[in-house]
Structure 1
Amino acid sequence: MESLTAEDNGKTLRDDGNLIGKVIARQKGVSVSFYYRFKWDGKFKDFACGTWAKTGSKSKSLSDIRSEHRNASRKVAEGLDPTSAKKAEKIEAQTAIAATIAEAERLAAENKTFENLFDEWLRDGVSRQDNNAELRRSFKKDILPVIGKRPLRSLTEKDLLAVLRAVRTRGLNRTVVILYNDIGQMLRWAEKRKPWRSLMIDGNPIDLVNVQTLLDHDYQEERDRVLSSDEICELRGIFARLEHDYDTLPAGQKYSGIRPVNSRVQRAVWICLSTLCRIGELLKAEWKNLDLEKGTWFIPALATKGRKGKRQDHHVFLSNFALEQFKRLQKETGSNPFCFPSKNGECHVDIKTVSKLIGDRQCRFKKRSKPLSGRHHDDSLVLNNGTKGEWTPHDLRRTGATMMQELGVTLEIIDRCQNHLLAGSKVRRHYLHHDYAKEKTEAWRLLGERIETILA
């Protein structure tokens, strides 16, 4: 074979046992294609044994070709068609590979972790208003470091209790409730979908957790804190006193620890109280949606908080008191598109900013072992000596609504001033389109005058 040339093209070579080679001359060189000729069912059949060539990585050696020939000859002697046997071997090999892959996939599915579920839930199962940023933060801080690598099939209520108890030891009752609800929402989503539901064959572990046993006995999930008239007046006095104390400090003592409440925070407090808006809605407000000439504030649906994902536009008719707060705020931030701009001015401030600033000045209720870096840590905004507990920006919304009720405003108008989604038949919503602008304007006017009277 080494002596073959292009002139030998088409020549036939024969070896023992009906091993036949056909010489083929190509541009790349001369090669010999070998096949084994045998008789099967009265007819001659050929079985390919490989190709030998002078050059080329795919060339077989003559010993390999002869070995292939011997194997084929042995199968014929055993009554097997070597061509069919080779196909069967390929099918068996492919079946074995498919089985190996299937087993690997099965094991991978069985060993999917809590973190794997969290990632898929974020991608396909939940869509919060902040693009799930708070979910990512809370899970990465308190949950995933503890049970993130735990296979879901082995997750138990003890694992979940360990996570929630660790948060509870920091005195964060509200955080415990939020994490419990978020974990429950995720696991109930998984119960209905493959492959997760097959990994929870023993049931949903969150159903075995009683969150109430983890909370302080005096903790109330549904807040009912309402500021009294005296507390509203006291709050105004605190704002004024802190500003006075700071202004009268000598220049060298401005960093003694006394700090007035930021004027924007003060404006936010009075606007929330006088308009019944949510603090998040206010902090997202843009000047383009305020008409201070007409005294109106438009809150687009995307900036509101809805029930079960349903949101609606909201029109606020500002009382003289609320209008004055916005005018004072405009002197500070009117050059920016946002009423409460972030430090870089490119967006609105974080919607938790005011709640944090107010909470940091009521530290006796926070159960913190040490002050948070760069944050206030005092009791300067504690009202009524703390006998009624902590107050939050959302309590101002409840307080304003309660004051409206005391002023004789109907419950339906109060709901509309709070932009609640009202229940009712589809027929009623289809035919009745009165916007109640006059009634709401009167309700906000009464509330504004009541606040002015208290502060006077």
Structure 2
Amino acid sequence: MAKAPITKRTVDAAKVALREYVIWDDGGKDTIKGFGLKVTPAGGKVYIYQYRLARPGMADKTAPRKYTIGKHGNLTPDQARNRAKELAAMVEMGIDPRQAELDAIGAKDEVKRQAESKAKLESELVFEKVAERWLEHYEAEKGRRPRTLEQARHIVKMRLEPALKGKPLPHITRGDLQGIIDAIPMKHRASRLAVYAYSSVLFRWAMERGEIADNPVRLMAKPSAPEPRKRVLHDDELVKVWEGVERLRDPYRAYFKLLILTGQRREEVAGMVWAELDRGTSTWTIPGNRTKNGMAQIVPLARTVVEELDRLALALKVKTELDEMDPKQWPKFGPVLTTYGKTVIKSYSKAKAELDNAIAKTFTEAGSLQAWRVHDLRRTLATGLQRLGVRFEVTEAVLNHVSGARSGVAGIYQRHDWKDEKRIALSAWATHVQRLISGAISNNVIELGARA
């Protein structure tokens, strides 16, 4: 075993051999036990420190361990010696230099990981960015109704984002979301329930992608659902609504008339396009991607409805100067109800507000109607059909409801489409409405066999 003081002279004099060897420090009183110079066959000269650690509670020590101090050239002998002294002091205190170095590297890596995690949280996982990615995913899925997509975006932008903007998704708690729901008045139960439902879908999507560990909505109490609405417009109220509608300009005038006479949902009527209509058979076919239950709906058109569509088609002809178009030939494409000519109407609140104002102006002395919603028109038609003696199954078919007679086992085996019965029912309803408007009847009900 070669021994010599580890000095510049010793290092420079060390010769390359066929095998690796070590010169251990031997400098008298300045000797550092375990300090040495390793010389490799390739000519490398490396300062090392060899040590043993005492085992806790035992007299013997662990097997020798080596710590590489550094290469000669990068370090001088004196610099290497000073480092060896530091390492010897650590061993004296029971500290493993190699493990300490590994711990330091690990701590450095952890600091780096935390910095990267923080940067990711602040750049990629803030609520508004994750929510926007979710909306893109949600809107890209097939079968979503426009109204559902519109509501999802409204909940995110108007309810969630104002309170959660800038906050990383993993840091959002049940308390944060509960605070948003609690801020919505109890009377707006539908809004509270919608915030809960869409939040659950959003956070579950993020959890499935590994962006959060758990869905904070999972253990939240579900808000109570709103009481089912029972509002039905009486005949005199329906007359007031119709006369208010007559004061409106298109497309809202035609929009409300079609709602009253067909009983279809507001989004379905508002989104009507000419390609869905067939004047020859007097039918309106709503494709499944525009209905609430995903099932295509065939709506027979009463004579009054056909006349209303003729009026719109003629107005379009005049506007576009299509002199060659037959007044009774409907366009082949484009929206039926449009404000700007290219897109369907979507301003439902504006339409309802204009109608309420028109009704108030028409019946100033009698006063305005009690609060009502557009959806109440569907309930009014359903109730009216029952008064006219229409079978429940036919009413369900008119409304495109998959419930009652059209659900469960009955829905599987009962494949009758009630096409003829629906036509008779809607024609009878249109006649009833027209007689109410003209004052031909008051509260009497016409016979079901009448046609409009």
Normalising by structure 1, report the TM-score: 0.63
Conservation of the 8 A alpha-carbon contact between 1:361 and 1:378: yes
Structure 1 counterpart SS, 2:71: strand
Task: State which of 204, 220, 225 in structure 1 corresponds to 2:232.
Answer: 225
Is 1:395 equivalent to 2:376 in the alignment?
yes
Separation in 2, partners of 1:288, 1:332 = 17
Structure 1 counterpart SS, 2:284: strand
Deviation at 1:393, TM superposition (A): 3.0
**In the alignment, which residue of structure 1 is the partner of 2:145?**
129
Structure 1 residues 160 and 390: alpha-carbon distance in aligned structure 2, compared to 1, 3 A threshold:
closer
Separation in 2, partners of 1:63, 1:262 = 96
Conservation of the 8 A alpha-carbon contact between 1:156 and 1:205: no
Cα deviations by residue, 1:12-67 (Å, 9 ceiling, x for unpaired)? 99684452254898xxxx974333467999999754221244xxxxx445544333
Structure 1 residues 187 and 340: alpha-carbon distance in aligned structure 2, compared to 1, 3 A threshold:
closer
Conservation of the 8 A alpha-carbon contact between 1:286 and 1:337: yes
**In the alignment, which residue of structure 2 is the partner of 1:48?**
68
Conservation of the 8 A alpha-carbon contact between 2:254 and 2:308: yes
Conservation of the 8 A alpha-carbon contact between 2:255 and 2:337: no
Unaligned runs of 5+ in 2: 1-6, 27-34, 54-60, 120-125, 317-330, 439-452
Cα deviations by residue, 1:261-297 (Å, 9 ceiling, x for unpaired)? 1122121122111111111101112211111111111
Separation in 1, partners of 2:130, 2:366 = 46
1:134-213 to 2 correspondences below 5 Å: 134-138=151-155, 140-141=157-158, 144-145=161-162, 152=173, 154-155=175-176, 160-161=181-182, 163-165=183-185, 176-185=188-197, 195-196=213-214, 204=220
Deviates more, 1:377-386 or 1:268-277: 377-386
AA partner of residue 353 (structure 2): G
Separation in 2, partners of 1:297, 1:408 = 24
**In the alignment, which residue of structure 2 is the partner of 1:262?**
249
Separation in 1, partners of 2:230, 2:350 = 17
**In the alignment, which residue of structure 2 is the partner of 1:215?**
none
1:324-335 to 2 correspondences below 5 Å: 324-333=307-316, 334=331
Structure 1 counterpart SS, 2:375: helix
Separation in 2, partners of 1:274, 1:384 = 28
Separation in 2, partners of 1:432, 1:101 = 65
Task: State which of 304, 308, 320 in structure 2 corresponds to 1:321.
Answer: 304
AA partner of residue 123 (structure 1): W
Separation in 2, partners of 1:395, 1:68 = 86
Deviation at 1:410, TM superposition (A): 0.9
**In the alignment, which residue of structure 1 is the partner of 2:48?**
35
Deviation at 1:445, TM superposition (A): 1.9
Structure 2 counterpart SS, 1:393: coil
**In the alignment, which residue of structure 1 is the partner of 2:424?**
442
Percent identity between matched residues is 17
Is 1:19 equivalent to 2:36 in the alignment?
yes
Deviation at 1:441, TM superposition (A): 1.6
Separation in 2, partners of 1:153, 1:437 = 50
Deviates more, 1:94-103 or 1:285-294: 94-103
**In the alignment, which residue of structure 2 is the partner of 1:277?**
264
Structure 2 counterpart SS, 1:298: strand
**In the alignment, which residue of structure 1 is the partner of 2:288?**
301
Structure 2 counterpart SS, 1:297: strand
Separation in 2, partners of 1:9, 1:73 = 27
Structure 2 counterpart SS, 1:434: coil
Is 1:70 equivalent to 2:85 in the alignment?
yes
Structure 1 counterpart SS, 2:361: coil
Normalising by structure 2, report the TM-score: 0.64
Number of equivalent positions: 376
1:57-96 to 2 correspondences below 5 Å: 59-60=74-75, 62-73=77-88, 78=92, 85-93=96-104, 96=107
Structure 2 counterpart SS, 1:379: helix
Conservation of the 8 A alpha-carbon contact between 1:400 and 1:447: yes
Conservation of the 8 A alpha-carbon contact between 2:286 and 2:298: yes
Cα deviations by residue, 1:337-364 (Å, 9 ceiling, x for unpaired)? 222235261x3221xx24422324435x
Conservation of the 8 A alpha-carbon contact between 1:183 and 1:206: no
Task: State which of 433, 444, 453 in structure 1 corresponds to 2:415.
Answer: 433
Separation in 2, partners of 1:447, 1:312 = 24
Deviation at 1:132, TM superposition (A): 4.2
Structure 2 counterpart SS, 1:323: helix
Task: State which of 377, 385, 389 in structure 2 corresponds to 1:408.
Answer: 389
Is 1:341 equivalent to 2:316 in the alignment?
no
Separation in 1, partners of 2:359, 2:413 = 54
Unaligned runs of 5+ in 1: 54-58, 109-114, 213-219, 243-260, 364-376
AA partner of residue 400 (structure 2): N
Cα deviations by residue, 1:276-319 (Å, 9 ceiling, x for unpaired)? 1111101112211111111111111211123xxxx311111111
Separation in 2, partners of 1:159, 1:355 = 24
Separation in 2, partners of 1:438, 1:445 = 11
Cα deviations by residue, 1:181-226 (Å, 9 ceiling, x for unpaired)? 12333576799977456x689x74766xx899xxxxxxx8614131
Separation in 2, partners of 1:278, 1:418 = 8
